[in-house]
Amino acid sequence: GNTPEPQGGGNQSGGVKVANDEPGKKVVIGFSAPAADHGWMAAITDAAKKEAGKYSDVELRVVEGTNDPNLQISQVETFINDKVDAIVLLPFDGAALTPVALKAMKAGITVINVDRQFDSPFAARSTVLGDNYGMGVSAGTYVCERLKDKPGSVVAEIAGIDSLPLTQDRSKGFAQALAGCGLKVGNRVAAEFTVESGERAAANLLQAAPKIDALWNHDDDQGVGVTAAIKNSGRSEFFMVGGAGSANVMREIKADNGPHKATVIYPSTQGADGIRLARLAVQNKSLGDLVEVEIPRQVQLYAPVVTKDNVDRYLPTAFES
Amino acid sequence: MVSSPARANALLSVQGLVKRFPGVTALGGVDFDVRAGEVHCLLGQNGAGKSTLIKVLSGAHRPDEGEIRWRGEVVEFGNPTAAMRSGVAAIYQELDLVAGLSVADNVFLGHELSTAGFSRRAEARRRTRALLDRLGHRDISPDRDVGRLSVAHQQVVSMARALSLDGQLLIMDEPSAVLDPDEVRVLFGVIRELTAQGVAVIYISHRLAEIREIGDRVTVLKDGRTVATGLPAREVKTSELISLMTGRVLDNVYPQRASLDPAAPEVLVVRGLADGDRFAGVDLTVRAGEVVGLAGLVGSGRSEILETVYGARKAAEGTVEVDGRRLRRGSVGAAVRAGMGLCPEERKSQGLLLDQAVYRNITVSSMSSFAKFGFLDDRAERVRSSQLTEALDVRPAGVDRLVRGLSGGNQQKVVLARWLLRECRVLLLDEPTRGVDVGARSEIYELVRQLADSGVAVVVVSSDVEEVLGLADRVLVVREGRVVHDGPADEIDESRVLDLVMEGQPA
Amino acid sequence: MSEDTAVPTQQRTPVAKESGISALLGSAAGRNTGLVVALVLLCIGGVVTAGDRFADIDNVLTILRLAAVIGVVSIGMTFVITGGGIDLSVGAIVALSSVWATTLATQGIANDTHWIVMVFTALLVGGACGLVNGALIAYGRVVAFIATLASLAAARGLAEIISNRKTQIVNVPGFAAFFDASVLGIPVLVVIFALVAVGGWVLLNRTTFGRRTFAVGGNPEAARLAGIDVRRHTVMLYSLLGLCCGLAAVMLIARTTTGSATHGGLYELDAIAAVVIGGTLLSGGRGTIAGTVFGVLIFTTLSNVFTLNNLSISAQAVAKGAIIVVAVLLQQRLARRSGA
Amino acid sequence: MSEDTAVPTQQRTPVAKESGISALLGSAAGRNTGLVVALVLLCIGGVVTAGDRFADIDNVLTILRLAAVIGVVSIGMTFVITGGGIDLSVGAIVALSSVWATTLATQGIANDTHWIVMVFTALLVGGACGLVNGALIAYGRVVAFIATLASLAAARGLAEIISNRKTQIVNVPGFAAFFDASVLGIPVLVVIFALVAVGGWVLLNRTTFGRRTFAVGGNPEAARLAGIDVRRHTVMLYSLLGLCCGLAAVMLIARTTTGSATHGGLYELDAIAAVVIGGTLLSGGRGTIAGTVFGVLIFTTLSNVFTLNNLSISAQAVAKGAIIVVAVLLQQRLARRSGA
Ligand SMILES: Nc1ncnc2c1ncn2[C@@H]1O[C@H](COP(=O)(O)OP(=O)(O)OP(=O)(O)O)[C@@H](O)[C@H]1O
Ligand SMILES: Nc1ncnc2c1ncn2[C@@H]1O[C@H](COP(=O)(O)OP(=O)(O)OP(=O)(O)O)[C@@H](O)[C@H]1O
Ligand SMILES: [Mg+2]
Ligand SMILES: [Mg+2]
């Protein structure tokens, strides 16, 4: 009876792997992430803190979130100076933080890389990845399923911050999945992961596309604004697929009273997983359900589609945006 | 100090007033009193503390010590509003108008005509119109942006503003400095009208002739102290006033002209200079050692001619040559490199770096002569500057002071020092003695003469016709942007110049 | 430069300025020819590239709705900049006001009484923040740039603490209904923007407060000597802007149905840009509400045209830079020619 | 205020100011007492809350390394602001320079020749951007705020287009080796920062260029009439800042081993804040390099102390705002007491 998702909430899995949760050697973990300028990112830090709070043998140091690689590097340097046992790092830019992560590894610190990948395999002991490309594919596949009988349908996309590689991966996955059923993205705008930017982008997009059949929005946090804009415009001819999987959107899917008919999960518990892995690695423990004696090099999380049919399964672990 | 009965009757009386600024005591004990209906003149050298006194009286500065009585009661004017409420209105030396606001807005700034917060604009415009008419300026529109008026017109607006306050005491800090004789006459008419109604006027000017004409009593300040008060303005001897002010005796104000060498080379040659309709066909030739004066009404375009010669404005037509080499149009850099220097009309906005040290203001145009490979020799700059400030008697001394803290006249000397340092070939002086006291004035005349004798070509613009005639070898009269007369200074007299200047003007 | 060439002694016919709407429109258009031309060019660009989709009435309303929120902030900013100040904390104040007005507690009271409680809360919070800014600057004599930079950090931090970094969704009946409605086909938000613009114009150009704002910004020393309490006036200017931010927060809550600590991101730059492109001097003493409105419209229309045309964000950025420069150059050339 | 009470006529001995290092340190500390005190208080706070972890030499070097990049930009910014300007595009110029210097093409040439090619590319791009800014402002007469806002958008857009919004990784041998090294235990980046600071100080305070900068910023019209080519000087100021941005880009490339269009985010605010908190007048005419260095150090030390102390992120923002205000008030009170 293991839960299908490793990220599936501490309490559930905690009950099973009693041996791993037993207090061990004290572990000091440094945690650094980009600025919590949108809900998902805030949820990442909150979940990590909550997870760390469950273990009496973990001391977590959380530093100010920042979108300046220069500052984030110096935060990691401070962790190195402090001789912490492990660092859980969600870098603003994976490549930019690689040298300092290498430095940390060389100093004997266990680095767990979360979400945005380093460009050197030696820079982290283990990597927890969401699947951005897979998210796009899941969303695209779902859209294809619903529109497969209607060739020539108009598909629109509201992306997140366009200059981030993760946004580009999501869009690529989405476009390729759509191509599989002969559809393509007709209109695309980018927002900035915030409610306000979502509203603004959606208002313009709805003008740009007089008729839409399906809309994929990369991020449920900005989705709150997108929904507001849709409501304002009084349009209802299309269905909407969300991204990231906030509790709000899942409740909407469950109630079936809004444009959202599905959302694709991008786990906001990756940071929490990072904390767990870091603790296990420092204490020389292994992942309970694996045969291996070491934790794996890389864990890639799945990006499932949540619909009315399966929403009850995901709602408990969804983040409140 | 005993308060005499006269004091008790006075509208305003001041005792033991002290005002200190960091590093300097501007007022070190001032006593005087002003009666209703009189014109009380304040005299004193540059930096004597006249403007500071005015600011204390009008609530703009708080005194450190001393007592001000208003109608016999001790008062404290904590801010300008308090003074205005009591009936004190002031025209400050440094015109304090807001560029960007209209004339009418400036006149009623701070005591706006309004109903429930909404401006009564038509009313304000009408009253401004009336005030300006009373000051003899039908030509200033109440809707005009004050920043676009000439300095003289701005001065008129300041006066309108002071009149609009309907005060019991009107304080004027060098109102005539930028006015031409005609306008001064109108001003005096207004002052007489006011005093006849019992309004008291404190009048500050460096022109002794004006004091004699309009003043009733005179108070002399020296180094922040009263050295004499209550002197009868019409009777007291000029020499006595000057020696009270300066502590020395001055006789001949204008220096002796050396006879001009007719073979001296033509240093500055201007041909057919024109700038749109502003001025046209200006020819001007100045030989080495010659001082050429430009006389004309305020607004006749003299400043603009000077600025165009200097390259600060781009000429539409015409050429400017220095020592036979033609200058690039509209380039100050070229003019300065060719050896030209300009003391601009508005020293505060055009001449000075107010928040920088005196020596930096002096060396700004000759930096390269103090620099090796671009690195400045600070010490040499200070030494040369102090030599100049001593020669010009800039007070207080000390070249590290910020220029902002200097009195108006001393600021003017700093600008002059800049071009003395540079050893120009051609020096253009726009109102060089505006706001400068008698003592310093004769020093400046002396300097100009010395410069000319050393071979510099000098052009002087001044609204003081007497000054132009006294100082210049040759006089040009400018009217509405044209040169209407060009001849030796000793072949023309003041009334003839005034005739030329006014010709065709409505009286 | 061609300046006006009247000889001073010659009687100059005073330019008769009629008051009333026609003057408002006339002078606004006159002094802002460059901006009007830029906006018209932009619209032509929109029609050419996006045709009916651009010229559509719904699209126009979309543009206006988008302009409304930042527009209200920009109008307040016009006052502060004209008065010689600057405020970097507007976005943060909008965020804090939006969060405070949508806490469970506030919403609870609003549900028990009336939704107007939320509006007052937002206005109060915004006004208070402005008051603090103004007091720091006028009485504490902290440079405006630094004081409001500090407020930016503090207000956003506070907004995050209060909201616990969650998006707060509004469930007060009546609130959304009121703000989503239309008056004669014009959305309430746009009506609010128009009212604020007209009110701002009257305040700046027709009242003592407005005259004093110009004076305080143009020459504070002269204003002081004229008996104006410059410091008190400064506090009032920042408080006014704070109120505008509070109002903008209400409008943003209505638009997004949420309050959030992320609201109002980079509003400071957007608002200042709109104000400055509109012709208000950054150094104070000159300001125009009409220009600000044009500035806001130019920026919103720009992003609308880009979106209609499906342009990439990077290309948008480059084009945006170019268009800003062209608009300003145009405005300058035309203003100079018209002798203003 | 204790003033000296010399009567004006009394001859005042001109204060002889010795030149040289002692004067530099003395006057810098003197005029910046408030900043020094603020920094010392911050350090005491650091030692009290984080003890040895703060006072550690490694930690000090960490602070300095962090300060180096933004420090170089801030020194350039000091010149522009002292000269009466402002530049909002610095972050975007850093990004564009970093991207241009790390394209495959540039790296290819660098690999074939020498890594210095990358350095020159970055400097060239930065300088060119500054030149464009300066020309727009000085000759095009576009307000600095708007011109550089436009450059901000354009340069970031261009950086994204060139990099195709990918992070570009540096693989040039020697480059990283050079910049990661230390000189006598001091990291090369810190050495560069120190050199730029000292060079900037000399340039601003000891050369004709610096003197002209003060003149141009203090009263451009007076500077022009004194024979200074104000427009050319303005162009030089912005170009200098552009060069500083190029250098900062090189340092950032070294620190992150990447070039990216996202580099330098919000550097404009950080740099302006450091400059202004250091005592340079935003309106121009007064500027101090030492103050800027203190300003940068205060901000970086602040975030280091926060990092060491595990504070809640939102509380950090609030504290940051409060500390900025306190530092400025302190600086003002002390400066006023010392009669400066
Ligand atoms: N704000 C100030 N800060 C420092 N010193 C000042 C300030 N204002 C005036 N002073 C000093 O006070 C003294 C008196 O100056 P004030 O302007 O009153 O002279 P004044 O008699 O009006 O001279 P002038 O005839 O040149 O106008 C001068 O030494 C001047 O340097
Ligand atoms: N920048 C300007 N814009 C508009 N009008 C101007 C400008 N500069 C000057 N004028 C006008 O041009 C006229 C001529 O001014 P100018 O200063 O050249 O005369 P002037 O003979 O030197 O008189 P003054 O004695 O006042 O210096 C003035 O009436 C002034 O109003
Ligand atoms: Mg005076
Ligand atoms: Mg003149």
Whole-Å CA distances, D340 to B22, B418, D12, D214, D334: 9, 25, 18, 17, 9
Q: Say if D184 is an interface residue toward chain B (CB within 8 Å).
A: no
Whether residue B307 is found in the same domain as residue B188: no
Q: Which of residues 21-50 of B touch D (CB under 8 A)?
A: 21-26, 28, 47
- Between C9, C212, C225, which is nearest B80 by CB? C225
B4 Cβ below 6 A of ligand 1: no
Can you tell me the distance from the alpha carbon of D67 to that of B61, in angstroms, rounded to the nearest whole number?
A: 44
Say yes or no for a CB contact (<8 Å) between A207 and C59. yes
pLDDT bin (cut points 50, 70, 90) of residue B338 is: very high
Q: What is the reported pLDDT for C340?
A: 40
Chains interfacing with A (3 or more CB pairs < 8 Å): C, D
pLDDT bin (cut points 50, 70, 90) of residue B250 is: low
pLDDT bin (cut points 50, 70, 90) of residue D336 is: low
Q: ipTM > 0.90?
A: no
B contacts of D206 (beta carbons < 8 Å):
375-376, 378
Q: Of A54-68, B125-139, C304-318, C325-339, which gets the smallest average pLDDT?
A: C325-339
B215 Cβ below 6 A of ligand 1: no
Q: What is the pLDDT of residues D246-299, one digit of tens each?
A: 999 999 999 999 999 989 988 988 899 899 888 888 888 989 999 999 999 998
B361 Cβ below 6 A of ligand 2: no
Residue type, A71: L
Instruction: Tell me the average pLDDT across D10-18.
Output: 38
- Any idea what the CATH number is for the domain that residue B62 is in? 3.40.50.300
DSSP state, residue B402: B
Q: What is the pLDDT of residues C62-116, one digit of tens each?
A: 899 889 999 999 999 999 999 999 999 999 999 999 999 999 999 999 999 999 9
Measure B412 CA to ligand 4 centroid, in angstroms. 15
pLDDT bin (cut points 50, 70, 90) of residue D27 is: low
Chains interfacing with C (3 or more CB pairs < 8 Å): A, B, D
B406 Cβ below 6 A of ligand 1: yes
Please tell me whether residue B341 adopts helix, strand or coil conformation: strand
D contacts of B224 (beta carbons < 8 Å):
7-8
- pTM (two decimals): 0.88
Say yes or no for a CB contact (<8 Å) between A36 and C160. yes
> For residue D90, is pLDDT > 90?
yes
Whether residue B435 is found in the same domain as residue B286: yes
Say yes or no for a CB contact (<8 Å) between D283 and C283. yes
| Residue A253 CB-density burial (10 A; 0-12 exposed, 13-18 middle, 19+ buried) | buried
Say yes or no for a CB contact (<8 Å) between D165 and A99. no
Read off the tokens for D245. Answer: 């941005």
Our separate counts of H helices and E strands in chain C read 16, 4
Q: Of A312-321, B21-30, B84-93, C1-10, which gets the smallest average pLDDT?
A: C1-10
Q: What is the reported pLDDT for D18?
A: 41
D37 compared with A239, residue with greater pLDDT: A239
Whether residue B296 is found in the same domain as residue B380: no
Q: What is the reported pLDDT for B106?
A: 94
Q: What is the reported pLDDT for D318?
A: 83
DSSP readout, C199-219?
HHHHHHHHBHHHHHHHHHHH-
Closest residue by Cα to atom 10, ligand 2, is: B150
Q: What is the reported pLDDT for C3?
A: 37
Q: Which chain A residue has its CA at the smallest distance from D249's CA?
A: A70
Q: What is the reported pLDDT for D10?
A: 35
**Which among B402, B422, B442 is the end of a domain?**
B422
Q: What is the pLDDT of residues B13-60, one digit of tens each?
A: 999 999 998 878 899 999 999 999 999 999 988 888 999 999 999 999
Helix (H) or strand (E) holding B184: helix B181-196
Q: What is the reported pLDDT for D31?
A: 67
Residue type, C57: I
CA B315-B319-B320 angle, 5° bins: 100
Q: Is the peptide bond before B396 cis (omega within 30 degrees of 0)?
A: yes
Q: What is the reported pLDDT for C13?
A: 34
Q: Say if B223 is an interface residue toward chain D (CB within 8 Å).
A: yes
Asked whether residue B251 is assigned to any structural domain, the reply reads no
Instruction: Tell me the average pLDDT across B107-130.
Output: 92
Q: What is the pLDDT of residues D119-137, one digit of tens each?
A: 999 999 999 999 999 999 9
Whether residue B96 is found in the same domain as residue B189: yes
Measure C248 CA to ligand 4 centroid, in angstroms. 50
Burial B383-416 (b: 16+ CB within 10 A, else e): ebbbebbeebbbbbbbbbbebebbbbbbbbbbbb
- Share above pLDDT 70 across residues of chain A, in percent, rounded to a whole number: 94
CA A232-A235-A238 angle, 5° bins: 135
**Quick one: fold of C52-304+312-333?**
ABC transporter involved in vitamin B12 uptake, BtuC (1.10.3470)
Question: Which residue in B447, C228, D258, D152 sits closest to A123, CA to CA?
Answer: D258
B499 compared with B126, residue with greater pLDDT: B126
Q: Which chain C residue has its CA at the smallest distance from D151's CA?
A: C321
- Between C255, C308, C313, which is nearest A162 by CB? C313
Our separate counts of H helices and E strands in chain A read 12, 12
Ligand 4 is an ion; its neighbours by CB within 5 Å are B 303, 345
pLDDT bin (cut points 50, 70, 90) of residue D5 is: very low
Angle of helix C116-138 relative to helix C144-163, nearest 10 degrees, comes to 150
Helix (H) or strand (E) holding D92: helix D90-100
> Which residues fall within 8 angstroms of residue A83, CB to CB, at 6 or more apart?
A107, A109
B439 Cβ below 6 A of ligand 1: no
**Which among B188, B220, B246 is the end of a domain?**
B246
Whether residue B168 is found in the same domain as residue B155: yes
Along the 340 residues of chain C, how does pLDDT read in single tens digits? Answer: 333 333 333 333 333 334 444 444 455 555 677 788 888 988 998 899 888 888 888 889 989 988 999 999 999 999 999 999 999 999 999 999 999 999 999 999 999 999 999 999 999 999 999 999 999 999 998 889 889 989 998 999 999 999 988 889 898 888 988 998 888 889 999 999 999 999 999 999 999 999 999 999 999 999 999 989 999 999 999 999 999 999 999 999 998 889 999 898 889 888 998 998 888 888 888 899 999 999 999 989 988 888 888 777 788 788 888 888 887 787 777 766 654 4
Can you tell me the distance from the alpha carbon of B297 to that of D84, in angstroms, rounded to the nearest whole number?
A: 36
Q: What is the reported pLDDT for C314?
A: 80
Q: Say if C316 is an interface residue toward chain A (CB within 8 Å).
A: no
Chains interfacing with D (3 or more CB pairs < 8 Å): A, B, C
Q: Indicate if the alpha-carbon torsion angle B212, B217, B220, B224 is positive or negative.
A: negative
Q: Say if D52 is an interface residue toward chain A (CB within 8 Å).
A: no
Ligand 1 atom nearest residue B54's Cα: 18
Measure B409 CA to ligand 3 centroid, in angstroms. 7
Domains in chain B: how many in total? 3
Q: Say if C336 is an interface residue toward chain A (CB within 8 Å).
A: no
Contact between residue B114 and residue C207 where contact means Cβ atoms under 8 Å apart: yes
Please tell me whether residue C300 adopts helix, strand or coil conformation: helix
B408 Cβ below 6 A of ligand 1: yes
Asked whether residue B487 is assigned to any structural domain, the reply reads yes
A295 compared with A277, residue with greater pLDDT: A277
Contact between residue B467 and residue B449 where contact means Cβ atoms under 8 Å apart: no
- Between C146, C283, C324, which is nearest D146 by CB? C324
Ligand 1 atom nearest residue B53's Cα: 18
Q: Which is it for strands A214-217 and A155-159: parallel, antiparallel or unpaired?
A: parallel
Whether residue B168 is found in the same domain as residue B220: yes
- Between C62, C166, C252, which is nearest A196 by CB? C252
Which conformational region is residue C191 in: left (phi greater than 0), alpha (psi within -120 to 50 degrees), or beta? alpha
Closest-CA distance, D133 to chain C, in angstroms, reads 11
Q: Say if A67 is an interface residue toward chain C (CB within 8 Å).
A: no
Say yes or no for a CB contact (<8 Å) between B24 and D6. yes
Q: Say if B97 is an interface residue toward chain C (CB within 8 Å).
A: yes
Angle of helix D188-206 relative to helix D230-256, nearest 10 degrees, comes to 170
Nearest-ligand number for the alpha carbon of B61 = 1
Q: What is the reported pLDDT for C4?
A: 37
| Domain extent at residue B217 | 10-246
- Share above pLDDT 70 across residues of chain B, in percent, rounded to a whole number: 96
Q: Which of A49, A232, A248, A250 to mutate to test the interface with C (most CBs of C within 10 A)?
A: A232
Question: Which residue in B62, B65, B57, B1 sits closest to B28, CA to CA?
Answer: B65
Q: What is the reported pLDDT for B261?
A: 77
A contacts of D65 (beta carbons < 8 Å):
74, 77
Specify the length of chain A in residues.
321
